[in-house]
Structure 1
Amino acid sequence: MAIMSRKNSVKGILYLVRSVPKRYASVESKTQVWISLHTDSRGAANAKADAVWQQQVAAWEAKLAGDTTDAEALFESARELAAARGFKYVRADKVVDLPIEQLLERIEAIGGKRQKPDVQEARALLGTVDAPEFTLSKALEAYWGLAKDKTFGKDADQLRKWKNPRKLAIRSLIEVIGDKPLSSITRDDLLDFRDSLMERIETGAIMPSTANKQLTHLGGIFSTVNEKKRLDLDLSVTGLKFKEGDKIPRPPFSDDWIRDKLLAPGALDGLNIEARTILLVMINTGARPSEIANLSADRIRLSDNVPHISIEPDGREVKSAYARRKIPLTGVSLEAMRACPNGFPRYAGKSSLSAAVNKFLRENGLMETEQHVMYSLRHSFEDRMLAAGIDDRIRRDVFGHRLDRERYGGGASLEYTLELLSAIAI
């Protein structure tokens, strides 16, 4: 059957193909494709006909999709048409470099009628359909849909936090080189961007680690869009990163500061009940503020034999596989949690908690030094566990940290962990 070039004619063929009963299609349609099977044996032809027929239908559908002015759809249809003919779509500048035998195979596979080659097939097999242009801003929009595997399980706030640094990276690059198409970005453009980051590092506006994160995000966006949209571009950021100095960890609050300042009568009264509770729960659990803020009522188990919180995925992802854990409630943390047994609706799924607490602590003279933040309570708890000689495996399990060896068994029981943590509770 000759392939018709007009859109309506091809639509008509596809309609007939789909409407012919299977028992007729298996005879009539397969007979029509015998001529392309290079055999005069009916049995041999029938054995191959199904695959060839499906290939033919795929080619027709790809042609229909190619009858469009949309560059992305046109490029995709060219890829599909090439695949239906048994070839990978390759750009014209690379087709000409193919071994002569492979080039001839492509030319011979181009269909047509009356000695005239089919234009769509020729463009698909010889790689003359231009890849769609993605400017930096358009590439970012495409990236959100292409990287869904990286956002699965994130709640709205986590998704916002994941997107924002990537938006910043693209915006920063656009400020330096403009909203250029990816195909026009050169190594010099990327070096210019690196120079701009270097200037900001030298003025103290950003740290090397911050600059490196921007480069990492750009590399991730480029590679994902390039690969999944089959653009075949060279957009590597390899070799552009900066050497990072030693990280300065946040200092822990001293036990005396916690007891005498943070827990002084009335010291935290200016905080709303949910923020105050989360801060107090951190003291003897070492849990992250966001982990506590997103606890649902069924994860706060005050009436169990061992009162505890259970940190699990609950409409949002946890930081890592090791972050799923149960932590006994002791001391002021247990007492505080009784005020919010149903969770923290004011802060669940939001990012305003740490900023609000840090601001309150600074304005009320409750920060031990300028380097201290709310998160420093997590470091304080770890120091107390270390000073008490608590086993490394238990410390890592309580903190939700990765173990530097294979993890055997189920770890310490909740009862035994309670016993250990009660001894260091404030």
Structure 2
Amino acid sequence: MLNIEIAQRRNEAIAQGVGVMTQIYVDHAKNAELWDIEGNHYIDFAAGIAVVNTGHCNPKVMAAVEKQMGRFTHTCHQIVPYENYVHLAERLNKVVPGDFDKRTVFVTTGAEAVENAIKVARAHTGREAIVAFGGAFHGRTFMGMSLTGKVQPYKVGFGAMMNDVFHVPFPVELHGTSVDQSIAAIEHLFKSDLDPKRVAAIIIEPVQGEGGFYQAQPELMRALRTLCDTHGIVMIADEVQTGFGRTGALFAMEHYDVYADITTMAKGLAGGLPLAALTGKAEIMNAAAPGGLGGTYGGNPLGIAAAHAVLDIIEEEKLCNRANRLGTALKSALAELKPDIAEIAEIRGPGFMIAVEFNKADGSGPNADFTNKVRLEALKRNLILLTCGVYGNVIRFLAPLTIEDDVFAEALAILKASMLAARDS
């Protein structure tokens, strides 16, 4: 069986709205490597978009899921509950940033977690309006894509978005927007279009994911916390992509001196199984009436078992420290290339949530073509990379935090060769 054969079948079976970045059909994977159905070997610097932070088929995760499978796979917690669901909620209540009493809800996807965070914020405040940021990504459901600050490809052709969702610029110095300008935009919004007493929540990614791996500045987080406290607004941190060691801390909000009221999480939570959660202040989370939150598959026993293993692995193997070491090494390797690659505009990111942004060699603007050339050159050399950013000119690096040193070194050599080949093409 060949990749091209399955690709042809896929075109005849799958709706075109489900896009793919490669035509690699995976057969099996281990840690930071995978093999396709033709036997080709690849190094995976995507990790399922920051899902398998603890590696493909981590033995401890696999063992936990296998053990749970032998007991039961589903009862629906709302019908017949189970203890490990409660235990995982207790663990998240303890580790999610915030010095206050917390409660947790389990759902299935990151978009669901965001949707439910909005529901909780509205129930708590009795308000409807939501403020989000340009460049943000919060999911593909109607509320998720309404909150998302990127039109192409997420909003095109889907008609009117949800009411009472407002966007303000995210501060990106490289693109000429400062923290002061972002805060001024919110204040202007509150004066010209939106009574702050109608705002239920402000939602922000501590590091924008799909938007380009731009990290929110500490002064922005402090200003948002002050605005929320002043006007009785719920502050939501979307940690779907930043959570579980990726930024060098279990949660990215640990890098700040303020807390969010609600934290959403998914992706890295269960090591490859579909599980998501929202954790927040008890008095806010308890605002929804019984039956208002949940879902048939929310907190599925297999995902819960995997998540317990993931939290154990991160702690026992000190993966937050490893993320910082790997990120420092990657930044250093990229910095060494900068004198030879005029297109490199910026290298950034906390922990192992690193990105490189490319502009035209003359500095005249974003260079999506060069970015895609680098991605394709890397793919020729069997390294899987992801692009992102509003302009499509950013490569984000999301290898598992457990990647072996020799595999990491091989990937860096491929990355260097790919960038030089893109420059010379």
TM-score by length of 2: 0.22
TM-score by length of 1: 0.22
Task: Identify the structure with the greater helix proportion.
Answer: 1
Task: Identify the structure with the greater strand proportion.
Answer: 2
Which is higher, the Rg of structure 1 or of structure 2? 1
